[in-house]
Structure 1
Amino acid sequence: MILLALSGSARSNGVLNAGYFCFQAMLQAYDAIYQKRKPILAVQAIAAGVVQSLFVFVPFLAFQAYGYLNICLIGNSYEPRPWCKAKIPLLYGFIQSHYWGVGFLRYFQAKQLPNFLLASPILSLAVCSIVHYVSILYRKFPLSSMHKEIIYAAEMKSMGTNEGSDDMWISNSKLSSKSTGGDHMVRQRKQERRNGAQSSQDIKSMGRTLPDGMQGESSIMVLPFILHLAFMTFTAFFVMHVQVATRFLSVSPPIYWFASYVLASPSSYKKWGYLIWVYFVTYILLGSLLFSNFYPFT
């Protein structure tokens, strides 16, 4: 969580990482209400998700507050900057719009066509990956199986968290048992872990009863990644300087999932897989050469 929060201090789009905590909270709340029948657990999950999301926003908001304090409140200029009078004063947004020409459809000019061509490979990969995974989720998840998948994902998430805490507890117990004679407590905890392992097997067996499409790449757990990529792709194409789309979207896992899917697919996709491979290698080699010599290549 700390690393995701720090990403917001470096780039404004880092605040989008709060969506992963929101998705996790919704899964846990759904499981608490419909499976465990404990609304209080749902409230706790939502509250934890809100706190975690706010934590991700803190570095970004702190930077905006710092700029507003130094420029708008205690600045030496007699005439305050236009963004200081805005209902929501955002320093970074004003700089992008006023000095860089960033805005919805503002980059759609004939002279920018080469930049759109430069960004077309990564944008095409992003769009294809979004369409691919959305179509899989749409086909594999009728309403009847969506409930099972949400419960399964929430239970597996909870089981992973509990097992991690058990490992830490036993490690600490082993250290303390040397001086306090806590061998009995360690043995008791191991027995509890064996019981927990049985519960884990039950959950895994439940997973085996799910349709094949509800596991792996078609799991509901890929949904936040697809939504994240869709928002970033829309922003890169319609709002930003489109030529930076390559480095902007290169951090998104679905692009590489889809590329590996194409490369590993039967011969019908072999040509497209070859083109993807050539693009990746060419971008690395040509980009390193041009960028290190101060040529515009992103």
Structure 2
Amino acid sequence: MFLLLLLRALPLPLFDEAADGQLVRWDVLHFLAIARDGHLYEHHWAFLPALPALLRNAGVLPVASLVTILSIDAFRVLYELSEVTLGSKDLAWITTLLALLPSSPVTLFVAPYNEPFFTYLSYRGMLYSARSQYLKASIAFALASCFRSNGVFLAGFIIWGLLIQSKPRFSSAVYATVLSALVFAPFVYHNYSGYVSFCVENPQRPEWCNKIIPSIYTHVQSEYWDNGLFKYWTLQQLPNILIALPPLFLFYVFGFWHLKAVYARSESPFASITLTPHVLHALFTSSLLLFASNTQITLRLAASMPTLYWAAAWLWTHPSKDGKGFQYRSWGKVWVYWSAIWGFISIVLWAAFLPPA
């Protein structure tokens, strides 16, 4: 945190001199434009309205201060979630310590970005789900969906708890459907608003208006951000894909180990069935990021999935086959070194307005 505050004050030369202030970089420029003029242009619809609304009503510095406050409280929520999920205070403590080294510290701790709000609300909803407080969970997940579209996938935790973890009943299915609809509502309304703006009473209707499911969000992500199956896999984007591989690799290695360990009825706390919905969510999101999205977004989004830090804690505490624990612990150290080094580099790149963001 000290490094973040220090680098905010450094007069680093900017790649883009149009930036106004140390906190205004990359997507923040879009958020401020939407806060000022609304979703005026088609490409603005890639961003959901919650953060621009906060910036419009409060301003950059107050929102950045709120980001820092929520990020601090997120550690407490993560600790509680880890204790409930792993059944160990020691592992919860290790997990929380590892979370101090995210792969995108600026956008998680300081900058007025979507990710701090999304991460905090995701943790909250996951904790409520773990405690079977599904109405509270759906509200937290719905609020998360106001910041990022992938918040709709968080409904899976409610479905898991009501229909898979416990014996499914008709009343549970109805309840899960209603709560999931609440989680989907912000994203659906965002697309509906875009449809009304561009497709209703418009003699020059865009082509996407005529699709079976006329989603402006899907259109904009494909048209302006090259989202789509393998669309991002170009030689030009290879560096962005490579820098995102460490967290993706950790997600996959731990995810498949966990599923195998659950099947084998391992007694490891990391093989608990309570982790399974988190692992499935992380594997699905990782695959989406790797194969159909701007892959470097993984660096910002990974922190919203506690599976990342549980996987790192697994490396630190899981014994290797010879019982000495050296092999896993060594990879755990590699993860910590990479997180610290890349985290520092990302701060400098952000301060100089250089990619990735």
**Structure 2 length-normalised TM:** 0.57
2:172 maps to which residue?
45
Shift of 1:228: 0.6
2:300 maps to which residue?
247
- Counterpart pick for 2:229 among 94, 104, 109: 104
Q: Which runs of 5+ in 1 are unaligned?
A: 33-41, 141-211
Q: How far apart in 1 are the matches of 2:283 and 2:165?
A: 24
Q: How far apart in 1 are the matches of 2:328 and 2:185?
A: 45
Q: Does 1:55 align with 2:182?
A: yes
Shift of 1:23: 0.7
- Counterpart pick for 1:221 among 271, 274, 277: 274
Q: How far apart in 2 are the matches of 1:19 and 1:8?
A: 13
- Counterpart pick for 1:9 among 118, 135, 146: 146
What SS is found at the alignment partner of 1:122? Answer: helix
2:48 maps to which residue?
none
Q: Please list the CA deviations of residues 119-156 of structure 1 after superposition, one character each: whole Å capped at 9, or x if unmatched.
A: 1111111111211211111211xxxxxxxxxxxxxxxx
Q: Check the 8 A contact 2:270/2:314 in 1, yes or no.
A: no
2:338 maps to which residue?
279
Q: Following TM superposition, where does structure 1 have runs of at least 4 consecutive aligned residues deviating by more than 6 angstroms?
A: none
Q: How far apart in 1 are the matches of 2:183 and 2:214?
A: 19
* Matched AA of 2:195: Y
Q: Check the 8 A contact 1:7/1:14 in 2, yes or no.
A: yes
- Shift of the 125–59 alpha-carbon distance from structure 1 to 2, 3 Å rule, reads same
Q: How far apart in 2 are the matches of 1:121 and 1:51?
A: 37
1:297 maps to which residue?
356
Q: How far apart in 1 are the matches of 2:146 and 2:191?
A: 10
Shift of 1:70: 1.5
Show the 5 A alignment for 1:47-196: 47-75=174-202, 78-140=203-265
Aligned residues: 214
Q: How far apart in 2 are the matches of 1:45 and 1:29?
A: 9
1:267 maps to which residue?
326
Q: How far apart in 1 are the matches of 2:166 and 2:279?
A: 21
- Shift of the 28–270 alpha-carbon distance from structure 1 to 2, 3 Å rule, reads closer
Shift of 1:81: 0.8
Between Structure 1 and Structure 2, which shows a larger proportion of helix residues? Answer: 1
Q: Check the 8 A contact 2:240/2:356 in 1, yes or no.
A: no
Q: How far apart in 2 are the matches of 1:102 and 1:71?
A: 21
Show the 5 A alignment for 1:228-239: 228-239=281-292
What SS is found at the alignment partner of 2:244? Answer: helix
Q: Percent identity?
A: 28
**Structure 1 length-normalised TM:** 0.68
What SS is found at the alignment partner of 1:132? Answer: helix
Q: How far apart in 2 are the matches of 1:126 and 1:26?
A: 25
- Counterpart pick for 2:161 among 18, 24, 47: 24
1:192 maps to which residue?
none
